[in-house]
């Protein structure tokens, strides 16, 4: 008996020496609760299936886990499950740096990912090569899903298809009708046509009769025109100024152009906030009153809009929402369902530049 005890003690000691090395971990808590590692795993993951567990054992396990401050080793879990709970966010740095729009998108993705227990891994790129550098990182052992935003390089879509074939679900976030995109991926975007349709309708509803347009993108210009026509107003090409960028210079140039051409107008629908601010500033400096003489509205609801000399009304592109929805599409994993494009409806944020002193609320887009 003594000998046996001795041996037992010895072997116990040996076990302790060999196995209890890992400070916390499933094994440590299993030993402490006097159960098997597998049971602990099942209990802690609530993966009991049909198995029932004795109430005492259950609480013993939980107690041990709490005592030892159990932290799951995610790498090990990911290894055996083949699932990482990580989604990648790869963002093309477009020209709107610093306007806070990308920040909104990132926030949307991060918050949505968090709320469904995923982690967001972020990367920025500004060229095709930079993107290609990251491609080796995109494997199912690292990411379950990938969101690619603002991609500008049609040649990358081929890569994305390979990536998707390798088992990483891909969702794009980019303008509708991007060349090269062929329906192979889920996509989230703002409805470009609705954007300027919404802002134009906003001005119409405020009584504007002659609404000028600072144009760049075709779809948005179409929305402007459609809003006019669906309200019985005639489209007048002389009211459209073709800008060469989304920057403020376009707005300044538009105001100068209209003045030089003697074109009269009581509203301006721009295609970006910067354009609108350029126009707004030019108007103010020329002594025009906003919104009394001219109402101005932009696109994006970026932070400069709020702080313009007359706070600028704007159609929000809802980047936060876009981020959230992109993550949502990743989560929605019905196998073989057709890929879909989710078009976010824009929303008008009315401020002084259209509605005057009373800081307006929001109105859904037409």
* Site residues (vs a second copy, CB under 8 A): 71-76, 78-79, 84, 86, 89, 93, 97-100, 102-104, 106-107, 110-111, 114, 119-124, 134, 136-137, 139-142, 166, 248, 273-274, 277, 281, 284-285, 302-304, 306-309
By beta-carbon proximity to DNA, the closer residue of 37 and 309 is: 37
Burial 101-140 (b: 16+ CB within 10 A, else e): bbebbbebbbebbeeeebebbebbbeebeebeeeeeebee
Q: How many residues bind to DNA according to rule CB under 7 A?
A: 35
By beta-carbon proximity to a second copy, the closer residue of 119 and 339 is: 119
**Which of a second copy, DNA, none is residue 135 near (CB under 5 to 8 Å by kind)?**
none
**Which of DNA, a second copy, none is residue 54 near (CB under 5 to 8 Å by kind)?**
DNA
- Which of residues 32, 41, 153, 256 is near DNA by CB under 7 A? 41
Binding region for DNA (CB under 7 A) out of 48-56, 178-186, 292-300, 303-311: 48-56
Continuous segment of H or E residues that includes residue 298: strand 295-300
Residue with tokens 């709970």: 85
Contact 331, 188 (CB under 8 A): no
Contact 112, 328 (CB under 8 A): yes
Is 7 one of the binding residues for DNA (CB under 7 A)? no
**Which of a second copy, DNA, none is residue 37 near (CB under 5 to 8 Å by kind)?**
DNA
- Which of residues 1, 17, 80, 260 is near DNA by CB under 7 A? 80
What length does the chain have? 366
Contact 187, 171 (CB under 8 A): yes
DSSP string, 70-98: ----HHHHHHHHT---EEEEEEE--TTTT
By beta-carbon proximity to a second copy, the closer residue of 146 and 204 is: 146
Separation between Cα atoms, residue 281 and residue 250, nearest integer Å: 12
By beta-carbon proximity to a second copy, the closer residue of 89 and 267 is: 89
3-class SS at 202?
helix
Per CB under 7 A, residues contacting DNA are: 21-22, 24-27, 34-39, 41-42, 44-45, 47, 49, 51-54, 56-58, 70-73, 76-77, 79-82
């Amino acid at each position: 008996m003594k000998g046996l005890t001795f041996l037992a003690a010895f072997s116990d000691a040996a076990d302790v020496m060999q196995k209890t090395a890992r400070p916390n971990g499933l094994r440590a808590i299993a030993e402490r609760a006097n159960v098997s590692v597998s049971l602990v795993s099942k209990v802690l993951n609530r993966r009991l299936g049909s198995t029932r567990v004795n109430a005492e054992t259950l609480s013993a396990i939980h107690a041990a886990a709490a005592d030892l401050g159990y932290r799951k080793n995610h790498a090990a879990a990911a290894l055996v499950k083949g699932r990482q709970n990580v989604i990648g966010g790869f963002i093309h740095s477009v020209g709107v740096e610093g306007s806070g729009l990308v920040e909104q998108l990132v926030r949307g993705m991060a918050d949505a990912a968090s709320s469904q227990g995923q982690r967001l891994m972020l990367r920025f790129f500004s060229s095709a090569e930079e993107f290609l550098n990251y491609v080796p990182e995109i494997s199912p052992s690292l990411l379950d899903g990938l969101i690619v935003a603002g991609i500008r390089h049609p040649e990358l879509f081929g890569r994305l298809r390979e990536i998707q074939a390798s088992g990483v679900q891909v969702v794009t976030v980019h303008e509708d009708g991007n060349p090269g995109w062929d329906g192979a991926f889920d996509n989230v975007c703002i409805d470009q046509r609705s954007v300027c349709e919404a802002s134009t309708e906003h001005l119409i509803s405020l009584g504007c009769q002659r609404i000028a347009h600072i144009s760049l993108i075709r779809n948005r210009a179409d929305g402007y025109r459609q809003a006019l026509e669906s309200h019985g107003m005639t489209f007048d090409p002389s009211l459209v100024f073709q800008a060469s960028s989304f920057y403020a210079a376009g707005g300044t140039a538009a105001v100068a152009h209209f003045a030089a051409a003697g074109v009269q107008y009581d509203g301006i629908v721009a295609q970006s906030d910067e354009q609108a601010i350029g126009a707004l500033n030019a108007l103010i400096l020329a002594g025009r009153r906003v919104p009394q003489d001219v109402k101005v509205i932009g696109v994006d609801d970026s932070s400069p809009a709020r702080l313009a000399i007359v706070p600028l009304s704007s159609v929000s592109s809802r980047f936060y929402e876009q981020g959230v929805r992109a993550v949502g599409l990743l989560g929605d994993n019905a196998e073989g369902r057709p890929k879909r494009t989710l078009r976010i409806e824009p929303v008008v944020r009315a401020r002084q530049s259209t509605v005057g002193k009373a800081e307006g609320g929001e109105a859904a887009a037409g």
